[in-house]
Amino acid sequence: MERCTQRLILNRLNLGIKTEPVQLYQIKGKPVCGDGVCQGNEPKTCPEDCPSEPEPEPKRSCVPDNDYPWGIFMINGGSGGFGVTVAVLDTGVDQDHPDLKANITDCVTKVTHFIPDIKNCEDGHGHGTHVAGTVLANGGSDGLGIHGVAPEASLMVVKVCDRKGWCYGDDIAAGIYYAADNGANIISMSIGGDSPDSQILNAIDYAVGYGVLPVAAAGNDGPEDGSIDYPGAYVKVIATGAVDSAEQVPDWSSRGINDGDDVIEEKEVEFGTPGVSIESTYNDGCYAYMSGTSMATPHVSGLAAKLWDIADGTLDGKGNAADTRSYLQNIAEDIWYEGDDPAAGLGLPVAP
């Protein structure tokens, strides 16, 4: 939820306080089940007399309940994405997670307002690691881990939110510019606020101009129509609502103002995808269940990566954002009210 807030700055010399108006956004998902702290085994080191031998992978101390979670099956994911880069703008990522580390090609922080989080892209919250896993977790080198929608895709991690899940608009905008300038094909943003931020919208315009496909959470402020969050509400962004395993929309999933004409416009939800009790990677090296439109968003981002190369019908290894978005719309299956509705938009996209 976006908050118009006043950031308090303490003057150490005279203990005076001044206020600075800022736009504050929040990640759009939270844990529903945790499995505690994972105690990982230390990796074995190679003796001095065999320096050429590779260091073996540490043994797992935890495995997921499902190697292919229910949401991956629902949209027919779990494969593909080669050559496509997905930028996840979130709280960072667990760079050592066995199901993610091989896919990470870039990992930066664009956080400027929270001192503990400006040093690196490590995930002090868990939300970003969870989102990234749904996009492209690859099961790990031992095959015992979890799989995301497009496990062959590359992961660009751009930390724009702090360890408490708060994200300033200028940091988000900086992250969007970075992703667009450094080769991202898709930007996944499981964040939202109640009103538009000109810095973010300008950055989205810039990214779209460079052929990037932005995807964002619809928000967790439902069930009223028009409760959709920005930046998902922006017409140039795919806004994603949540559904459960029975293809029902939870009350908390934000609604758009969809008018039923099958044309996505400002403040309209585009899709409804899995977002309830989603198992994915977590920042303790293990796994957790979370719910929210935050969890629905990476299902669409991953599906876009999986279908990127075939959406334009050429199979030439290139693909583009416009054709991919149109393709996702064309394969969406109606799951809520008939037609283009405020809760699930055009429906549930399922890969052929």
Q: SS3 letters for 163-207?
A: CCCEEEHHHHHHHHHHHHHCCCCEEEECEEECCCCHHHHHHHHHH
Burial of 24 (0-12, 13-18, 19+ CB in 10 A): middle
In this structure, what token pair is assigned to residue 212?
Answer: 């990037």
Strands 186-189 and 85-90: parallel
CA distances from 315 to 80, 108, 212, 228 (A): 13, 32, 19, 35
Active site residue 181: no
Chain-centroid distance, C-alpha 166: 15
Active site residue 188: no
3 state DSSP class of 72: helix
Q: Select which of 125, 127, 147, 299 is catalytic.
A: 127
Alpha carbons 152 and 350: distance in angstroms, whole number: 18
- Within 10 angstroms of residue 205's Cβ, the number of other Cβ atoms is 12
Q: Select which of 162, 294, 299, 323 is catalytic.
A: 294
Alpha carbons 130 and 318: distance in angstroms, whole number: 28
Alpha helices, DSSP H, located in 53-145: 70-74, 127-136
Residue with tokens 């001192």: 115
Residue with tokens 């040093």: 119
CA distances from 343 to 238, 258, 259, 272, 311 (A): 14, 8, 11, 7, 25
What is the Cβ-side half-sphere exposure of residue 58, based on CA atoms within 13 angstroms? 13
For the chain, state the CA radius of gyration: 20
- Within 10 angstroms of residue 102's Cβ, the number of other Cβ atoms is 14
Contact 139, 99 (CB under 8 A): yes
Active site residue 127: yes
Residues annotated catalytic, as ranges: 90, 127, 294
